[in-house]
Amino acid sequence: MASFKIEPLQIDDLEEFTRLYWAAFEPLDADMVMPMIYPGGLQHDLMERLKKRVLQETDGKLSDFCFCARDLQSGEMVAVAWWALVEHPAKNQQEIDTVWEQANKARNGGAPVAEMNSALGEAFLRAAVYAEYNMIRGQPYMSLRLLATHPAHHRRGAGSLLLRQGLEKADRLNLPVYLDAGVNGRPLYLRHGFTVTSDFPFDGRQHGGRSEGKHWCMLRPAQDIDAAAKGPRAQR
């Protein structure tokens, strides 16, 4: 049985992190959106753009929110996770409109990468921002932004290990967890207490993409671990 260790992501590992999640999302059968946005592949300009995005969206606190699983024998990075703790989410339409504008400027602004489908990227981000808002409605929560396992290391348990680590933190904080899942991730999330709340409102084919890029909005309710620990005694 494979053994892994989980490590907080360090700045020097950011390129390896990026290459791994691109490798996980690129295959056709993964039906993921990122290769539709960037059909030219993981070229230098895209690598720099993605690294900058991770640093910006974690406010530079990379090791607090991004983690990797390494094979204990080889030391190879085999899976990665990126979490967000959203303590003050948008509470009304005006606030979420501002969030959308800021997110779009940060992620899709600046010089485009060669062959980049900007319209598809903007449409997907808009769908993501508003789907998350409609599910959460102003309540603090944790969000799983990314969970990826390198295709050469599927079904060895590294992704599940990273997922459980994040869920344990959410449970300690008594917070729900939101994510949008692709076709490969959905079965894993269902096994870990998530439910599908709706189809993700996006179809890549409407914006020049190669496929639908099927996703689902999924939620895992907050777990009151203090009450669970008390068990039947809490009823006395």
Contact 133, 178 (CB under 8 A): no
CA 16 to CA 156: how far, in whole Å? 20
State the pTM of this model.
0.91
Q: Tell me the CB-side half-sphere exposure of residue 118, using CA atoms within 13 A.
A: 10
Per-residue model confidence (pLDDT) at position 236: 42
CA 193 to CA 139: how far, in whole Å? 19
Residue ranges of domains in the chain, CATH in brackets: 4-235 (3.40.630.30)
* pLDDT tens-digit series, residues 209-233: 999 999 999 999 999 766 555 555 4
CA distances from residue 83 to 9, 93, 98, 206 in whole angstroms, order as listed: 12, 24, 22, 29
* pLDDT tens-digit series, residues 20-73: 999 999 998 889 999 999 999 999 999 999 999 999 999 989 999 999 999 999
Which amino acid type is present at position 98? T
